[in-house]
Structure 1
Amino acid sequence: MLDQRRHAASWFRELRDRIVLAFEALEDRGPGTGMPGRFVVTPTQRGEDGGGGLMSVMRGGRVFEKVGVNWSEVHGTLAPKAQAAMAARGVPGMDTDPRFWASGISLVAHMQNPHAPAVHMNTRMFWTPGAWWFGGGSDLNPCIEYPEDTAHFHQTLRDACAPHGSDYYDRFKAWADEYFFIPHRGRARGVGGIFYDDLNSGDWQADFAFTRDVGAAFLPAFLPLAEARMSQPWDDADRETQLVHRGLYAEYNLVYDRGTRFGLETGHDPDAVLMSLPPLAKWT
């Protein structure tokens, strides 16, 4: 399993590098005369245990108001609260052995133009002495929805799922609809996508291949939408709509998001964990 873990961590790092280059290239094509945005890359460290990663954040660009593309590879022992949560989920051996290893990529983009959708994507692998699994997904979060954008995003994810299981897209879309829901608001935070966790079919290569395809589908799903909307005219009312919608996003990530809770409970760099929060938001 050591070789598989190294292979997965390397893939997540490669995907991070590919997306960073694509986003900076989009900045070069972006509207306006200001300097195109560039990522600031900061190494991160996980507390007193092992591992860390790279926090890559761009602020104030032509296209992206704030975007983070983080990669991590961490290991150590889970804190009692996180260990208990894993044991409650039925992870084999977690009630007696709190060791773990995890690697993945996490991305959240908040756009300058209110007509361009915000987006989230992550893929990850988790290992304990008794089990391993993959998780991740991607979901679109427009403040002003365009049905053709939603259709393109979902079709690209459907195409990525299709080779791996005839029911994968329908299952994981339904899971995303349930997971990315804000109970106290009674609404979804966006127009959905796919989400999956605890994926262990017994065939590591097959599950990893699916996770790679989910990650590789992100740029084809999102870049055409960002490029089409980045120069669209907008006004103060559009900006108001954007800021209020970002408030929903912030509420979800702080109250319900599983990855946020795990990162903070396991001692990872809080700035890296909370990079998903928008730079500005508003509540009415």
Structure 2
Amino acid sequence: MDTETRKARASAWFRTLRDQIFTAFEAIEAESADIPVLPGAPAAPGRFQTREWTRTDATGEPGGGGTMGIMKGRVFEKVGVNISTVHGRFPDDFAKTIPGAEDDPSFFATGISLVAHMANPNVPAVHMNTRFLVTTKSWFGGGADLNPALPRAEDTADFHAAFKATCDAHGEDHWNRFSKWCESYFFIPHRNRPRGVGGIFYDYLECPDDAAFEANFAFTRAVGETFVRIFPKIVRRRMAEPWDAEARLALLRYRGLYAEFNLVYDRGTVFGLRTGGNTDAILMSLPPEARWD
């Protein structure tokens, strides 16, 4: 299988997964008629609005682009689901930090990125992304992690169990490696605490041949499919629970913590900004409202 076929297959899957997530999340919004909502919440269930964007590479040539998908609804205060397929040449200093780009800074990257900030403080925020990168090497990366302001043991256990089952089906050491990697990656040193309650994080699943590509692509697809199964289950469990001003304040303060991580430490934010991506799409992970008091 040639590299162009691999690129096309990965890009097509991320678009398919995006469409599945749109459908799943809009179905939840359609069930929001009788739940407690924020003052000023939309009267009608939320629906995704999409916007295409393109980028010009640092070389001056067209560099691909993507589609932003944003929904502001009654259950989902703000959720972004973005897909992108970009290419070009890394800046020389940045190329030195990317596997396979040290001598040849040409790159291709395609992926999906999702962040959901929920209106009800009892419903956890969530992050998920998967991606395929090509330099002189090629690899998959991604993961999903749960980010509750008010952690619930049942939600954490179900989220972890779902991804453990997926990991176990694709590699005997996947869960051990990728859950620990998630814990260490989503840690905020200046606060000396984790961002959320974990999940999985993986990177550099290299594809030197067709067998490795198929195995790592299958795992990456399974990660996305697992997310579509487990997160809506958790949302439906919590979205009708009542909350008060104290719980809302806890949520807003937690969102400040979330924003700190994404602006200071997140690799995806750095990658997008350093490669001339769409700023609005890159920063869609930021919450609609947060507090630091």
Structure 1: which 5+ residue stretches go unaligned? none
Counterpart residue identity of residue 199, structure 1: L
Residue 76 of structure 1 corresponds to 88
Aligned residue for 2:68?
Answer: 55
Give the CA deviation at 1:95.
2.1
Instruction: From 48, 57, 64, give the equivalent of 1:39.
Output: 48
* Residue pair 2:80, 2:115 contacting (<8 A) in 1 also: yes
Stretches of 4+ aligned residues off by more than 4 angstroms: none
Amino acid of the structure 1 residue aligned with 2:128: M
| Letter of the structure 1 residue corresponding to residue 71 of structure 2 | M
Q: Structure 2 CA distance, aligned partners of 1:196 and 1:245?
A: 25
Find the aligned partners of 2:228 and 2:75 in 1 and give their Cα distance. 15
- Name the SS of the counterpart of 1:46 in structure 2: strand
Paired residues, what number? 277
Using the size of structure 2 for normalisation, the TM-score is 0.92
Question: Using a 3 Å threshold, how does the CA distance of structure 1 residues 201 and 98 change in structure 2: closer, same or farther?
Answer: closer
Check the 8 A contact 2:20/2:228 in 1, yes or no: no
Shift of 1:205: 0.6
Q: C-alpha distance in 2, partners of 1:208/1:281?
A: 36
In structure 1, give the amino acid aligned to 2:108.
W
- Measure how far apart 1:47 and its partner are: 2.8
For residues 1-284 of structure 1, the aligned pairs below 5 Å read 1-30=3-32, 31=35, 34-48=43-57, 49-59=62-72, 61-86=73-98, 91-92=99-100, 94-128=101-135, 130-200=136-206, 202=208, 203-284=212-293
> Which amino acid in 1 is paired with 2:256?
G
8 Å contact kept, 2:137–2:207: no
Task: Give 5+ residue unaligned stretches, structure 2.
Answer: 37-41
Contact 2:123 2:148 in 1 (8 A): yes
Across the aligned residues of Structure 1 and Structure 2, the Cα RMSD in angstroms comes to 1.1
Measure the CA separation in 2 of the matches of 1:246 and 1:118: 9
Comparing 72-81 with 104-113, which one deviates more in the overlay? 72-81
CA distance in 2, matches of 1:100, 1:163: 31
Matched AA of 2:28: L
Identity among equivalent positions (%) equals 53
Q: Secondary structure at the match of 2:97?
A: helix
In structure 2, what is the Cα distance between the partners aligned to 1:81 and 1:39? 37
Partners of 1:44 and 1:169 in 2: CA distance: 36
Structure 1 contact 134–198 (Cα < 8 Å) conserved: yes
Corresponding residue SS for 2:96: helix
Contact 1:101/1:126 (8 A) holds in 2: yes
Question: In structure 2, how many angstroms separate the alpha carbons of the residues matched to 1:169 and 1:137?
Answer: 11
How far apart are residue 233 of structure 1 and its match? 0.3
The amino acid that maps onto 2:182 is: A
Distance 1:69 1:227 in 2: 19
C-alpha contact (below 8 Å) 1:244/1:283 kept by paired residues: yes
Q: Distance in 1 between matches of 2:261 and 2:120?
A: 22
Amino acid at match of 2:121: P
- Aligned residues of 1:55 and 1:272 also touching (Cα < 8 A): yes
Task: Provide TM-score, normalisation by structure 1.
Answer: 0.95
Q: Is the 8 A contact 2:115 2:126 kept in 1?
A: yes
Shift of 1:201: 5.8
Deviation track 1:167-194 (CA, whole Å, cap 9, x = no partner) reads 1011100000000000000000100000
Check whether the contact 1:47–1:269 (CA below 8 A) recurs between aligned residues.
Answer: no
